[in-house]
Amino acid sequence: MQTTILLITLVLMAATLALILRAVLATDGPPPSDTAPKTRIRLLWTLVVFGVVLSVATLREWPHTSAGSDSMVVNITSGQWWWETDTTEIPLGQQVEFHVTSDDVNHGLGIYDPDMRLVVQVQAMPTYTNKVVHTFDQPGTYQILCMEFCGIAHHDMAYEFDVVEENS
Amino acid sequence: MSATDSNPLMAPTNPHAGIIKSTMLLGGVVFLLMMIFGLIMRAAQGGLLELDPTLFYLLLTAHGAGMVGSAALSGAAILWYFCARHLDLRGGIYLAFLGLFLLGVVLILGAIFVGQYGGAWTFLFPLPAISGGAWEAGAAVTFILGYLFIGVGFLLYYLELGLKISAKYRGLFGGLGWRYLFGGSDENLPPPTIVAASSVLVFNTIGIVFGAAVIAANIVNLLFPDFVVNPLFAKNATYFFGHVFINATIYMAVVAVYELLPDYTGRPWKTTKLFIGAWAAVVIFVQAVYFHHLLQDVNMPAWTLALGQIISYASGVPLIGVTVFSLAIYIKGSGLKWDLPISLLVMGTVGWGIGSIPAIIDGMLAVNKLMHNTQWVPGHFHIYLLLGEVAMAFGFSVWLVKGKSQEVMSGLDKLVFRAYMLGGAGFVLIFLWSGASSIPRRWAVHYEAWQLQSQLASAFALVVVLATTALVVRYALGLLRKA
């Protein structure tokens, strides 16, 4: 997923840059045609319409998934510089609702799969419990890393848990 | 001091030129120093040098505060310089602003390097008070007081701009151009610089007031730990202030493009209804968009998160559809002769526009879940700062010392420009790649699998540092030549 996001971003950046440079570097060519204002208005409307479509398409199904009735709850507490959970094993394919909080400052719960890809994250904040839902579709050892700067041992704030096939 | 309203080619006679030149030298030197800090951090992440994590986080804090501070200082200097073409500004106010700014800088540097404060520039409550033994409350209070002095300086600066704009353009509505936008006469229409100044002073004043509120809450908490504030409210205020303040730096600097590009193209940057409308949108968007920093705070009302995504996209529309498009139209077929100042100014505007794309993508909830607080974030903000605001600031600086005979780029100028642009592009693209590789931001120590990116980034950072050194030296020599 992240690679797709990167590629789409790079293509959009390159295409925009190419369009701008086409005009910016044509200093010795002909001046802009009389239709330039119309082109601009068309561009603005295109951007607006695209934005509406994109917003509807990406927000109609709310990206922060709600937990189903059969989801498993895992409580996670964080602090400088540790994580604590009420389980270290999660069944494969089981929807999990993480309840995340902090005992001291703001932390960020980032769950990394066995290939060290970030699969889901949510903030951990004192006095609040943040809920995030994820279904693990790959067995193995996952890591929880801190995603929010929390002091001098921020980078040491790592924790492991396993996603296991139920019959194992 | 008298206003200089007519001739745009007035660099030597601007009444504030002396102090502005000094400000830009200070800003340039601090930019360079902070880039060196950045290089050290990337090299440490790449395992190329040993750096104690405590020192890394001190450098991180200094780098963030120093870069934002230098961007704000250079942006403010540029805006003041060009506003003085249209307004009779009082030099004493600028000196007071600069004095308060420097006092703030001294306190911040003292807090970091003497007091060992390493809570990052966008510290989140209650981190300043809970350091895990790394620093004392006094250091945190000193750091925060530094922000307070800088904020007071900016309020003074904006008050002067607001008073003078109101007096000349019949109130702030006149300065914003909103009277004309909503059907009024085009008589006494403000130039683009004044529209920009009016807009920035409105939203940045509001941003600084919110920043002051969270700063005050932190100071009271540090002195009286029983006093606590809601951490989610504090986070909202911090990001509102931080987002607005860093954006204001670019919106202040872009007036250099409005004012200088016409000298090169013979085509004045005009105040049109579209231009005013775009700036009106900016005033609203730049304040409403900060929710996109809170997309992983699921206790926020859902509508705020949706708004964060939508406004994040919408913010790019006036930038790309108006500012960048206008830049292209004004330049195309103009016969412009490229020199170092205009090359840097154009690169700054284009970099700003291009940098908005990964920012907008990160502002989407579904993407943010995977990219938030990874190196994707410094990836996009380094594009519109390093290849945006900072490039504009150096473009303005080298224009200030431009000799009449220097009409085209020398071989050395071309080398410096290309090194800055290509080094900067390589540096920021590696950040994006690192973000897509799920490497978290603000980690002092990187796992071995992450070190290749940091090593490559260090090489590009070195190129940028060398190019920036050349720009600062060139500017300093230009100042000496002109003295």
- pTM value is 0.93
Q: Is residue A156 part of a domain?
A: yes
Q: Which domain holds residue A129?
A: 72-164
Give the minimum alpha-carbon distance from A92 to chain B in angstroms, rounded to a whole number.
21
* B302 band by pLDDT with thresholds 50, 70 and 90: very high
Residues A42 and A118 in one domain: no
Same domain, A84 and A157: yes
Spatial neighbors of B418 by CB under 8 A, at least 6 apart, are none
Mean of pLDDT over chain B = 93
What tokens does B61 get?
């804090």
In a domain, A144, yes or no: yes
Final residue of a domain: which of A43, A63, A83?
A63
Q: CATH number for the domain including A158?
A: 2.60.40.420
| Distance separating alpha carbons of residues B435 and B85, to the nearest angstrom | 43
Task: State whether A77 and A160 are in the same domain.
Answer: yes
pLDDT of residue B228: 85
Asked whether the predicted pLDDT for residue A168 surpasses 60, the reply is no
Least Cα separation, residue A163 to chain B (angstroms): 20
Asked if A57 has any chain B CB less than 8 Å from its own CB, the reply is: no
At residue A117, the 3 state secondary structure works out as coil
pLDDT surpassing 50 at residue B7: no
Verify that A76 and A156 share a domain, yes or no.
yes
| Same domain membership, residue A76 and residue A159 | yes
Q: Are B33 and B46 in contact (CB under 8 A)?
A: no
Which among A69, A68, A88 is positioned nearest to A164, based on CA atoms?
A: A88
Task: For residue B207, tell me if it sits in a domain.
Answer: yes
Task: Name the band, by pLDDT with cuts 50, 70 and 90, for residue B405.
Answer: low
Q: Mark whether A111 and A39 lie in a shared domain.
A: no
* Lowest-confidence pick of A74-78, B8-12, B352-356, B443-447: B8-12
- What does the DSSP 8-state code read for residue A155? G
Nearest one of B343, B181, B193 to B270, comparing CA atoms: B193
Using CA atoms, how far apart are residues B364 and A5, in angstroms rounded to an integer?
11
Write the residue in A6, A40, A132 that is nearest to B321 by C-beta. Answer: A40
Considering the domain boundaries, does residue A80 fall inside one?
A: yes
Mean pLDDT, range A104-124, rounded to an integer: 97
Domain match, A46 and A79 both: no
Preceding amide of B190 cis, omega within 30: no
Is B147 domain-assigned? yes
- Is residue B420 domain-resident? yes
Tell me which of A63, A80, A111 is where a domain ends: A63
C-alpha distances in Å from residue A45, one per residue of A14, A52, B318, B321, B409: 21, 11, 11, 9, 39
List chain B residues with CB under 8 Å of A156.
445
Give per-residue pLDDT as tens, B448-472.
999 999 999 999 999 999 999 999 9
Considering the domain architecture, whether residues A51 and A105 belong to the same structural domain is answered as no
What pLDDT was estimated at residue B404? 66
Closest alpha carbon to B35 in B393, B345, B347, B351 = B393
pLDDT for B214-224, tens place per residue?
899 889 988 99
Tell me how many domains chain A contains: 2
C-alpha span between B416 and B472 (Å, rounded): 11
Higher pLDDT, A33 or B394: B394
Tell me, what amino acid is at A8? I
- Which sign, positive or negative, has the C-alpha torsion B136, B141, B144, B145? negative
- Based on the fold, state whether residues A51 and A134 are members of the same structural domain: no
Mean pLDDT, range A85-113, rounded to an integer = 96
Say what the pLDDT of residue B8 is: 43
Amino acid residing at A41:
I
Domain-located, residue B1: no
Please state the rounded mean pLDDT for residues B397-403: 91
Asked whether the beta carbons of A84 and A144 are under 8 A apart, the reply is no
Q: Do A80 and A145 have their domain in common? A: yes
Q: How far is CA B98 from CA A39, B87, B157, in A?
A: 44, 19, 9
Q: Do you find a cis peptide bond into B269, omega within 30 degrees of 0?
A: no
**pLDDT at residue B133 greater than cutoff 80:** yes
In the prediction, which pLDDT does B15 show?
86
Given A51, A80, A148, which is nearest B132 (Cβ)? A80
Instruction: Provide the pLDDT for residue A24.
Output: 84
Portion 175-214 of B in contact with A at CB < 8 A: none
Decide if B69 touches A, using CB distance below 8 A.
no
Strands A72-79 and A95-102, how do they pair? parallel
- B193: Cβ–Cβ under 8 A, 6 or more apart, which residues? B79, B82, B83, B85, B86, B255, B258, B259
DSSP states of A36-51: HHHHHHHHHHHHHHHH
Provide the token pair at A141: 């050892």
Identify whether B215 is part of a domain: yes
Of A9, A43, A63, the residue that ends a domain is A63
Structural domain includes residue A2: no
Q: Mind giving me the DSSP string for A4-67? A: HHHHHHHHHHHHHHHHHHHHHT-TTSPPPPTTHHHHHHHHHHHHHHHHHHHHHHHHSS-SSPPP
Same domain for A41 and A83, yes or no, is no
For the stretch B60-89, pLDDT in tens is 999 999 999 999 999 999 999 999 999 999
Question: Has residue A17 been placed in a domain?
Answer: no
Q: How far apart are CA B472 and CA B87, in angstroms?
A: 30
B123, two tokens: 């510290």
Q: Look at A2 and B437 and tell me if their CB atoms are within 8 Å.
A: yes
CA distance B359 to chain A (A): 10
Tell me the three state secondary structure of residue B380. helix
What's the rounded mean pLDDT across residues B427-438? 98
pLDDT given for residue B2 in this prediction: 36
CA distances from B376 to A6, A158, B442 (A): 9, 21, 12
Q: Where are the alpha helices (DSSP H) in B323-436?
A: 325-331, 340-362, 365-371, 376-384, 390-400, 411-436
Contacts of the segment B47-56: beta carbons below 8 A, 24+ positions apart: B47/B446, B47/B448, B47/B451, B47/B454, B47/B455, B48/B454, B48/B455, B48/B458, B51/B444, B53/A152, B53/A153, B53/A155, B53/B444, B53/B445, B54/A152, B54/B116, B54/B118, B54/B134, B56/B444
| Number of domains within chain B | 1
Q: Are B118 and B136 in contact (CB under 8 A)?
A: no
- Residue B4's pLDDT is what? 39
B353/A contact by beta carbon, under 8 A = yes
Q: How many CB atoms lie within 10 A of CB B166?
A: 15
Angle, alpha carbons B305-B308-B309 (nearest 5°): 95
Give the nearest partner residue to A149 out of B53, B120, B302, using CB atoms. B120
Of B473, B460, B410, B400, the C-alpha closest to B430 is B460
Q: Is residue B263 part of a domain?
A: yes
For B167-200, the pLDDT digits (tens) are 999 999 999 999 999 887 888 899 999 999 999 9
Euclidean distance between CA atoms A8 and A6, whole angstroms? 6
Domain span holding position B107 = 11-482
ipTM field:
0.94
Residues A51 and A83 in one domain: no
Interface-testing mutation among B45, B51, B313, with chain A (most A C-beta atoms within 10 A): B313
Residue A58 has pLDDT above 90, yes or no: yes
- Indicate whether A88 belongs to any domain: yes
CA distance A122 to A64: 10
**Which residues sit opposite A108 in a β-bridge?**
A123
State how far the Cα of A100 lies from the Cα of A126, in Å rounded to an integer: 10
**Contact status, residue A124 vs residue A107, Cβ threshold 8 Å:** yes
Q: Which residue bears the tokens 């001190």?
A: B58
Name every residue whose Cβ is closer than 8 Å to that of residue B181 and which is 6 or more positions away in sequence.
B273, B276, B277, B280
User: Cβ contacts of residue A131 below 8 Å, gap of 6+?
Assistant: A67, A97, A98, A99, A100, A122, B298
Counting beta carbons within 10 angstroms of the beta carbon of residue B29, is it exposed (0 to 12), middle (13 to 18) or buried (19 or more)? Answer: middle
Q: Are strands A130-135 and A140-146 parallel, antiparallel or unpaired?
A: unpaired
Asked if residue A7 is part of any domain, the answer here is no
Helices assigned H by DSSP within B187-301: 192-223, 231-253, 255-265, 273-288
CB-nearest to B231 from A23, A127, A149 is: A127
Asked if the structure places residue A51 within a domain, the reply is: yes
Q: What is the dihedral of CA B291, B292, B294, B297, to 10 degrees?
A: 110
CA distance B351 to chain A (A): 9
B465 domain-assigned: yes
Distance between CA A123 and CA B472 in Å, rounded? 41
Predicted local confidence at residue B9, as pLDDT:
38
Nearest CA in chain B to A63: B366
Q: Is residue B5 part of a domain?
A: no
CATH code of residue B317: 1.20.210.10
